């Protein structure tokens, strides 16, 4: 069958002399560097659909794992060395990494997990999620079909309502524990983990209010340092007294 008359063949490439190699199609074709199994992430490029990547290290000074950084790297099995100082994991950063089963390696400096950052991964639990995380975006862990454990939990009110969209196994595990949603299960864990810390801080606050010589203030500061999750809450509480 001949091509429709409305389409014409593209014109042939301009001829060039053998000495003019810079104008040849081969010379103009961008070079592609081979990707090894362990790569260095410096924020300047993404490794989307990189078939060989199984792990990575983060270069010093990097604070953000960018959008789509390792999207659909199906052989990526480890978060590797993610240096302290990384605060943000952006949208779709690890989406589709089926062999990624653990969050171990996330730094304690992390505060934000973006939209669908870990969606459709092989995660089985949230163990390794730092308590410093204060924002978890919508669909952050969506369609993680192997996810069945919430881990140590997360701070209340930091999670988007659809963070665990389509995580049926996790929802079933939460309901078996008597919780309506995975988020409610996570909040329960967070309160249980931090209950002893809360009592210690409140005790220090009471001591601070009783001591006229100010000896309670250093005590309060020490407790606040030990309980990073509650530091902001303590400061607000004391300021309201």
pTM here? 0.68
| pLDDT at residue number 21 | 41
159 vs 154, 156, 163, CA distance in Å?
Answer: 8, 7, 7
pLDDT at 83 (0 to 100): 85
What pLDDT, on a 0 to 100 scale, did the predictor assign at position 221? 53
For the chain, list the strands marked E by DSSP: 38-41, 55-58, 64-65, 88-89, 112-113, 135-136
Predicted pLDDT of residue 80: 83
Q: What is the mean pLDDT of each run of 10 residues along the chain (241 residues)?
A: 43 45 44 72 95 94 96 94 92 98 94 97 94 94 96 82 96 94 87 58 54 52 51 46 43
Tell which CATH architecture fits domain 36-176: Alpha-Beta Horseshoe (3.80)
Q: What is the pLDDT of residue 219?
A: 53
User: Where in the chain are the domains?
Assistant: 36-176, 194-240
Q: Is 225 helix (H, G, I), strand (E, B) or coil?
A: helix
Residue with tokens 């952006």, as numbered in its chain = 90
């Amino acid at each position: 069958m001949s091509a429709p008359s409305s389409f014409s063949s593209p014109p042939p490439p301009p001829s060039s002399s053998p000495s003019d190699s810079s104008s040849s199609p081969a010379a103009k074709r961008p070079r592609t560097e081979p990707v090894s199994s362990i790569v260095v992430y410096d924020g300047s490029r993404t490794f989307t659909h990189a078939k060989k990547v199984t792990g990575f290290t983060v270069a010093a000074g990097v604070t953000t794992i960018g959008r789509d950084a390792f999207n659909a790297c199906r052989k990526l099995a480890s978060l590797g060395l993610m240096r302290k100082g990384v605060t943000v994991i952006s949208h779709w950063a690890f989406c589709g990494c089926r062999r990624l089963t653990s969050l171990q390696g996330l730094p304690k400096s992390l505060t934000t997990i973006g939209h669908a950052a870990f969606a459709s991964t092989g995660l089985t639990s949230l163990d390794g999620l730092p308590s410093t995380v204060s924002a978890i975006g919508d669909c952050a862990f969506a369609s993680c079909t192997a996810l069945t454990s919430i881990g140590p939990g997360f701070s209340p009110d930091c999670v988007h309502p659809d963070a665990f969209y389509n995580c049926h196994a996790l929802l079933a595990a939460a309901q078996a524990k008597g919780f309506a949603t995975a988020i409610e299960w996570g909040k329960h864990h967070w309160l249980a983990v931090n209950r002893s810390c809360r009592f210690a801080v409140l005790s220090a606050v009471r001591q601070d209010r009783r001591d006229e010589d100010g000896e309670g203030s250093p005590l309060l500061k020490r407790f606040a340092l030990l309980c990073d999750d509650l530091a902001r809450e303590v400061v607000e509480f004391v300021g309201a007294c």
